[in-house]
Chain A
């Protein structure tokens, strides 16, 4: 089932507009609200949208309603553009049933804003090579909805710690150190909401983790018009498969919580801990991410930008000359400061 949004006024393709948060026709400027479309039932769309599904040998084949070309899609693609006519298409059947996302955070940063922000970010890279800083070699910027699982978790745990309080006082020619020892116990019941874990095989986990946090206040119930004009993929891993990863994270959070709850001591060391993490629920959500592909000295660099907050992650190339230069200049500056302080105290210059 291919979904394409046509302008009711002029019939051109409509795309999701990050500014208005609705569908926008680039030809006549017509705006449509996303709320005007209901997601669950495709039937009422028939009169507005042409959609068709071709069943192949276990693999669906899709055809563009505009030009009739066969859509070249990967098996995970849920939204893309026709490679022949450029029309935005959404593959409805890959977004239904178990594959139906329940939430979506729409893009709030447009492609132009993303490009400008990326260039600015490149320019700020202190240790990047000069020609990278110019950001003239952006190969492509792609708006992508990446599948995430949002977990609500319940963490229960207990820990025993050995803590000390140390007091010292002078007694004649001796320093007396009194160390009071304590056994400290904490039992916690913690609820974590919407811990995200990216469920896409392609996306590097560390890159996605660093894009957090997303602002959940602007999270919407899923609807297909949000995907118009962007690339989207379905999840590769189920919430059960992703659970160990998020559990590990929750345990780390619980450990921090317990450690922070023990205070007022000179030293603290947890000697025994028991944590259990249970899944309350997991929601399938699509998060907006701008993927920036950049060519620099025969290598391709991939950067990701949070399409909602503008936060950028990805390793930029590092200029070893600049690293050496920066270390040398910083060493020199610090050393000069040290010697000036020594000199001011009446010491020798060197």
Chain B
């Protein structure tokens, strides 16, 4: 091995060391930049993304539980909130539960509810509102539906809600009554009201199908021994038979007037003057 070879080997090693240092420094800088700039940037972007996605929902009212009359327990309120938020997320319908000590059955509570809804607009204006007016001796509760809730909680469903809540309301079990309201409302969201008709009830259909099938098979069994196929014309001598005297005498006419049945589902409540918004309603109940 000569000297020149030796120096070139040392030079080579030094060069390698230098490159190694440079690479390390570069990586360090890159790491610092990543840590100080890109990560926060990523964080900001992702936060922004989450924020943007949640923005419309957060900007308007989802569920409102305004218990001014202070009749609900805290745990019940939490439960209502869970169910109602879920309704909002799944069915895009806001639920407002509003209690007030100063509202009575003598007030125009229907109009007050409209006002309340106007003051608390929801994103798509699909709102179901329950009002409980707790003024002593003239307590009232009422359900109204706005937007698509006019259909999902239509008049007949709203009436049914009020009916189902009645016994608990009467007995002062407000927590339970409103729980019924929340759960029923949630179930109504799942089912188009046109299938509320008893005609679409599975059990009834099954029963009717059974009756039809049993009658058909019963008739077949009954007639398995053969049927009479002659009738009153089989042996009639048409040429020599006939009517030899007849009259059809008009005697009198009777007239009855019956009120037309009201079509509940198409009835639109409201009536707050020209600008009153259209909504479905259960008609209100005193309790």
A interface residue numbers (CB < 8 A to B): 125-128, 158, 163, 170-171, 173-195, 209-213, 252-254, 256-257, 260-261, 311-316, 318, 323, 326-328, 330-331, 334-335, 338-339, 342, 345-348, 350
Give a binary string over B215-228; 1 marks a CB under 8 Å from any A CB, 0 the rest: 01100110011111
In the bound complex, residues from chain A placing their C-beta under 8 Å from that of B34 are none
Complex: A159 Cα to B90 Cα, angstroms = 70
In the bound complex, residues from chain B placing their C-beta under 8 Å from that of A315 are 224-225
Known: A175-B257, A191-B241, A257-B236. A209 touches B228 (CB 8 A): yes
B148 CB to closest chain A CB (Å) equals 15
Complex: A156 Cα to B97 Cα, angstroms = 79
The answer to whether A261 and B243 touch across the interface, beta carbons within 8 angstroms, is: yes
Residue from B191, B205, B210, B214 in contact with A339 in the complex, judged by beta carbons closer than 8 Å: B205
The answer to whether A174 and B259 touch across the interface, beta carbons within 8 angstroms, is: yes
Which of B210, B221, B249 has the most C-beta atoms of chain A within 10 angstroms of its own C-beta? Answer: B221
In the bound complex, residues from chain B placing their C-beta under 8 Å from that of A256 are 231-232
Complex: A346 Cα to B278 Cα, angstroms = 26
A179 CB to closest chain B CB (Å) equals 5
B118 CB to closest chain A CB (Å) equals 32
Known: A253-B232, A334-B212. A313 touches B225 (CB 8 A): yes
Q: Does B253 contact A (CB under 8 A)?
A: yes
In the bound complex, residues from chain A placing their C-beta under 8 Å from that of B241 are 188-191, 257
Known: A193-B235, A339-B202. A213 touches B213 (CB 8 A): no
Residue from B195, B217, B225, B253 in contact with A314 in the complex, judged by beta carbons closer than 8 Å: B225
The answer to whether B212 and A181 touch across the interface, beta carbons within 8 angstroms, is: no
The answer to whether B213 and A331 touch across the interface, beta carbons within 8 angstroms, is: yes
The answer to whether A178 and B253 touch across the interface, beta carbons within 8 angstroms, is: yes
Complex: A56 Cα to B250 Cα, angstroms = 73
A18 CB to closest chain B CB (Å) equals 22
Residue from B191, B245, B252, B255 in contact with A158 in the complex, judged by beta carbons closer than 8 Å: B245
The answer to whether B253 and A177 touch across the interface, beta carbons within 8 angstroms, is: no
Known: A330-B216, A347-B192, A348-B191. A193 touches B237 (CB 8 A): yes
A319 CB to closest chain B CB (Å) equals 10
Instruction: Give 12 A-B pairs besides A175-B260, A210-B229, A331-B212 with Cβ atoms closer than 8 angstroms.
Output: A179-B254, A181-B253, A182-B250, A183-B251, A185-B246, A188-B241, A192-B235, A193-B235, A212-B234, A318-B224, A326-B220, A348-B191
Complex: A173 Cα to B257 Cα, angstroms = 10
Complex: A238 Cα to B226 Cα, angstroms = 28
Q: Does B206 contact A (CB under 8 A)?
A: yes
Residue from A181, A192, A194 in contact with B252 in the complex, judged by beta carbons closer than 8 Å: A181
User: What are 28 contact pairs spanning A and B, CB under 8 A?
Assistant: A170-B260, A174-B258, A179-B254, A180-B250, A180-B253, A181-B254, A184-B246, A186-B245, A187-B243, A190-B236, A190-B237, A210-B227, A213-B229, A253-B236, A261-B243, A313-B225, A314-B226, A315-B224, A316-B224, A327-B217, A330-B217, A331-B210, A335-B206, A335-B209, A339-B205, A342-B205, A345-B194, A345-B195
Residues facing A in B165-191 (CB within 8 A) are 191
In the bound complex, residues from chain B placing their C-beta under 8 Å from that of A311 are 226, 229
B263 CB to closest chain A CB (Å) equals 12
In the bound complex, residues from chain B placing their C-beta under 8 Å from that of A175 are 257-260
The answer to whether A330 and B213 touch across the interface, beta carbons within 8 angstroms, is: yes
* Interface pairs A-B: 8 shortest CB-CB: A313-B226, A187-B245, A330-B213, A334-B209, A253-B232, A256-B232, A315-B225, A191-B237
Residue from B192, B228, B240, B246 in contact with A212 in the complex, judged by beta carbons closer than 8 Å: B228
Q: Does B242 contact A (CB under 8 A)?
A: yes
Question: Interface size for chain B: under 10, 10 to 19, 20 to 34, or 35 or more residues?
Answer: 35 or more
Q: Does B4 contact A (CB under 8 A)?
A: no
B218 CB to closest chain A CB (Å) equals 8
> Which residue of chain A is the closest to B192 with respect to CB atoms?
A346
In the bound complex, residues from chain A placing their C-beta under 8 Å from that of B255 are 176-179
In the bound complex, residues from chain A placing their C-beta under 8 Å from that of B232 are 252-254, 256-257, 260
A285 CB to closest chain B CB (Å) equals 14
A321 CB to closest chain B CB (Å) equals 12
The answer to whether A331 and B209 touch across the interface, beta carbons within 8 angstroms, is: yes
In the bound complex, residues from chain A placing their C-beta under 8 Å from that of B224 are 125, 127-128, 315-316, 318
In the bound complex, residues from chain B placing their C-beta under 8 Å from that of A184 are 246-249
In the bound complex, residues from chain B placing their C-beta under 8 Å from that of A253 are 232, 235-236
Complex: A20 Cα to B247 Cα, angstroms = 54
In the bound complex, residues from chain A placing their C-beta under 8 Å from that of B206 are 331, 335
In the bound complex, residues from chain A placing their C-beta under 8 Å from that of B6 are none
A200 CB to closest chain B CB (Å) equals 18
Residue from A127, A187, A318, A346 in contact with B244 in the complex, judged by beta carbons closer than 8 Å: A187
In the bound complex, residues from chain B placing their C-beta under 8 Å from that of A192 are 235-237
Complex: A181 Cα to B255 Cα, angstroms = 11
Residue from A189, A194, A314, A348 in contact with B235 in the complex, judged by beta carbons closer than 8 Å: A194
B224 CB to closest chain A CB (Å) equals 6
In the bound complex, residues from chain B placing their C-beta under 8 Å from that of A190 are 236-237, 241-242
Complex: A312 Cα to B225 Cα, angstroms = 8
> Which residue of chain B is the closest to A171 with respect to CB atoms?
B257
The answer to whether B209 and A188 touch across the interface, beta carbons within 8 angstroms, is: no
B64 CB to closest chain A CB (Å) equals 30
The answer to whether B205 and A174 touch across the interface, beta carbons within 8 angstroms, is: no
In the bound complex, residues from chain A placing their C-beta under 8 Å from that of B258 are 174-175, 177
